[in-house]
Copies of this chain bind each other. A is one copy, B any other.
Amino acid sequence: MPDELHTVEVLPSQKKVTAHRGSLLLDAAAKAGMVIDTPCGGQGRCGRCLVKVTKGQAIDHESPRLTPQQRADGWVLSCTARVGGDVSFVIPAQRERELIVVETATTRTAVPVQCDWPFYPTVRQFYAELPPPSLDSNAADLDRLQAYVAEKQGLAKLAVSPTLLPRLAATLREANWRVTLTVILEGGDQQARLIDISPGHKTGPLYAAAVDIGTTNVVIELVDLRQGKALGRVSSLNKQRSCGEDVISRIIYSERGNGLETLHRLVLETINGLLQEMAAQYKFDTRDIHQVTVAGNTTMIHLFWGLPATYLRKEPYTPTATFFPEVPASQLGININPNAPVYCLPAVAAYVGGDITAGVLSSCLFKSNKLTLFLDMGTNGEIVLGNSEWMTTCACSAGPAFEGGGVRDGMRAIDGAIEEIRINSKTLEPTLEVIGGVPPQGICGSGMITGLAEMLITGVVSRSGRMNLSLPDTYPGRARIRPGEHGAEYVLAWASESGTGNDIVLTEVDIDNLIRTKAAIYAGIAVMARNLGIPLDSIEEVLIGGAFGKHINIEAAIQIGLLPDLPWDKYRFLGNTSVWGAYNVLFSKYARQQVEESARKMTYFELIADASFMDELTAAAFLPHTNADLFPSVKEMLK
């Protein structure tokens, strides 16, 4: 049987070769003249060698690299799948393979989460043809309006934004009593406040904006509240970045001179700039934006409001507020309709902000029957553990390593950033994925995670994060491991290949920073779970939100001990859950009620006040962990 020969057809070239039963598809392809690249050295780790069986049989085993659906569709890894009979398979173009792999291994469960909120915006717009006044009926203009909306719209009580009153009489008369009214429902379906009145019958979108103020990026989703749909998204760097990369350095900046004022101004400039960009792109006036919801971490929201942030970083870490009043845009300095209500999603604590409650909302964690771990990993790691019955949350200061800070060649995930690294275990040579397909300029967070994982798996670094300088020269990639200014280092790209003209490296100091960062997050999860008496392996679902969550490689993250060693199918990547939460709140008043209820329900757990946290942090400062038994899949691979 083992010697049985079978015909193997390699598509799309249609070349046929014979191959022994049990030989690797990879080798059969090579026989047909098609060399399939294996960045990991043919260990079934990287998934870059996948092919699709279109006819006949291949012998393969389950791989975390492939989803059940992909396997059913015929996808196999050619470095592990073997000839089991006559077989035809397609080798997709390399770019296509990349896409499939990225789709599969890093975002394979990135289905957008839909909680199916009933469309119920609080801001409404409607056309009104008022009966003009006469001597027989000369009630005040506002009374006339109120009587009309009571009769026609069922709004028994209509308050009015005071700033509308000076123009009310003239607008009604100039428009010959035909006007478009914009109201916001307040405290019940029969009570509203008039926030805009304009002549004639306005149709077209009723614009609103869901804003995510990230420490690094500000993202705005434009929404049409008339149709109940998203129109488009814009984003840009938060201009506050000139005052510090992370929240702590921003807070420190805010404490100096008129630093707070500057930060307040800069975030408004960022938001106003994006809104103008959006208005230009979609051809409307920014004054036509009638509602804004804002999600952001507690520091960002404090700075957005112009509130002192200093107490957020000083023990005992108290925000000024977690629930913020809804105020007119003009009061906060947002250049849209001055009466447009601006609502900030509620926070829980100094380091569990509205971005996290937004995540709990948009991930539907609040109604999950499964024991769920929600993670938002950035400079701060925010952690929520719970289900529809209860939720506990904590935050750990992870440091900016994953965002490029404290890493020699670190950078954000933009063009030129190495976002995935594979190291061939036979050669120790790296294969790099660079965003934008340009020469590499640095490494972003996901690149660091995969790089560190690959270095660990291939033995380039030890479990304590030291470079293995004693590897034999027989590995062609050995030359990349060398002493450097910041300890030993591994050269990812030589100067000749890089976009900077310098070698791009990961140093031992970089690795120390990465280990501290991943240890903080893991320790946070572990301590909180232990305090709740919950074994990590009883967690049924892990939801990863935040901008970072789109790019992370789950396998590598487990390998370095950043994430608990749970089956991959428990992980779901949700992308920017913060802006999505703000969007939900615009879309439906029920979502807003829910996010407030969730924020009140979330029990805040102060990690720093827990005596075991420092011990856990120390234990986690190892690859993957001092106690390797906590990471059985990694332990197995390291053998």
Contact = CB atoms under 8 A, between A and B. Distances in A.
Contact of A318 (B133, B318, B347): B133
A130 B291 CA distance: 36
B316 A141 contact: no
A308 interface: yes
A474 interface: no
Interface string A203-235: 000000000000000000000000000000000
A331 B166 CA distance: 13
Contacts of A284: none
A580 B200 CA distance: 44
Contacts of A136: 606, 609
B162 A331 contact: yes
B169 A322 contact: no
Nearest to A317: B138
A142 B320 contact: yes
A151 interface: no
Contact of A311 (B169, B306, B322): B169
Most chain B Cβ neighbours within 10 Å, of A170, A318, A327:
A318
Given A135-B609, A139-B318, A141-B319, A166 B349 contact: no
Interface string A543-579: 0000000000000000000000000000000000000
Contacts of A162: 325, 327, 331
A166 B327 CA distance: 14
A392 to B, nearest CB: 15
A165 B307 contact: yes
Interface in A140-157: 140-144
B142 A323 contact: yes
A305 interface: yes
A322 B166 contact: no
Interface string A284-318: 00000000000000000000011110010001111
A316 B133 contact: yes
B166 A307 contact: yes
A318 B138 contact: yes
Contacts of A305: 165-166
Contacts of A319: 140-141
Centre residue among A140, A305, A307, A349 by max chain B CB count within 10 A: A140
Given A307-B165, A308-B166, A322 B140 contact: yes
A116 B143 CA distance: 31
Contact of A170 (B160, B170, B308, B322): B308
Given A308-B166, A317-B138, A320-B140, A325 B160 contact: yes
Contacts of A306: 166
Nearest to A610: B135
Interface residues of A, number: 45
A321 B138 contact: no
A479 to B, nearest CB: 51
A168 interface: yes
B169 A308 contact: yes
Given A138-B606, A305-B165, A606-B135, A159 B325 contact: yes
Interface string A165-189: 1101110010000000000000000
A350 interface: yes
Contacts of A324: 165
A606 B136 CA distance: 8
Choose among A144, A159, A162, A608 the residue with the greatest number of B CB atoms under 10 Å from its CB: A162
A496 interface: no
Contact of A141 (B134, B315, B321): B321
Contacts of A143: 321-323
A536 to B, nearest CB: 25
B135 A169 contact: no
Contact of A135 (B159, B311, B315, B323): B315
A136 B603 CA distance: 12
Contacts of A350: 138
Contacts of A608: 135
Contact of A321 (B142, B311, B320, B606): B142
A262 to B, nearest CB: 15
A267 B244 CA distance: 49
A161 to B, nearest CB: 8
A323 B146 CA distance: 11
A305 B308 CA distance: 34
Given A135-B606, A609-B136, A142 B315 contact: no
B169 A320 contact: yes
A382 to B, nearest CB: 16
A318 B609 contact: no
B327 A142 contact: no
Contacts of A168: 307, 320-321
A140 B352 CA distance: 12
Interface in A27-55: none
Interface in A491-513: none
5 contacts: A138-B318, A159-B325, A160-B321, A169-B318, A173-B311
9 closest Cβ contacts across the A-B interface? A142-B321, A138-B316, A140-B319, A135-B609, A140-B322, A135-B316, A169-B320, A133-B318, A162-B327
Given A135-B608, A138-B318, A141-B318, 6 more contacts: A133-B318, A134-B316, A139-B322, A142-B320, A165-B305, A166-B308
